[in-house]
Amino acid sequence: MKRLIFFALVALAAWYGWHHYRDVLTHRPSHEAVVENHSGRGIERVRLVVGGQTFVRESLPDESSISFPFRVNDDASFDLYWRWAGTDTENHWAGGMVPRGPMVQRYFFQVDSEGQVMFRAETKLGS
């Protein structure tokens, strides 16, 4: 029985390798999202949703930033959720556009003291 299970695992690994070897061996460039806190206070529970993927960071101190590398299979847009430190009210921003490719970009989200988000995108060089 142990040999059968071992053989099944080896066969599954071989099948996966055969069908996905290009994905494993080739480096695909990725987009990058950078969330910057310029609000004068801390941010909690930062969530960025893009292309069916969710990226989370529990805290983002004032005057700091976090970055999330990501890839998309189709054109997508962003949803950014956050809470101010010490509150229960969730803020939301939606917008921006991520093209499928082939060009990759770096997307910046600057959160200010009024909860407004300044969004900009620039070409990512050296990806």
Q: What is the pTM of this model?
A: 0.76
Q: Summarize the confidence of residues 100-117 as an average pLDDT.
A: 91
Chain centroid, CA 120 distance in Å: 16
- Interatomic CA distance for residues 39 and 26, integer angstroms: 40
In this structure, are strands 65-70 and 31-38 parallel, antiparallel, or unpaired? antiparallel
Superfamily of domain 30-123: Domain of unknown function DUF5300 (2.60.40.2890)
Q: For residue range 61-83, list pLDDT tens digits in order.
A: 999 999 999 999 899 999 999 99
Beta strands in 9-116 (DSSP E): 31-38, 43-50, 53-60, 65-70, 76-84, 90-98, 105-112
Contact yes or no for 37/59 (Cβ under 8 A): no
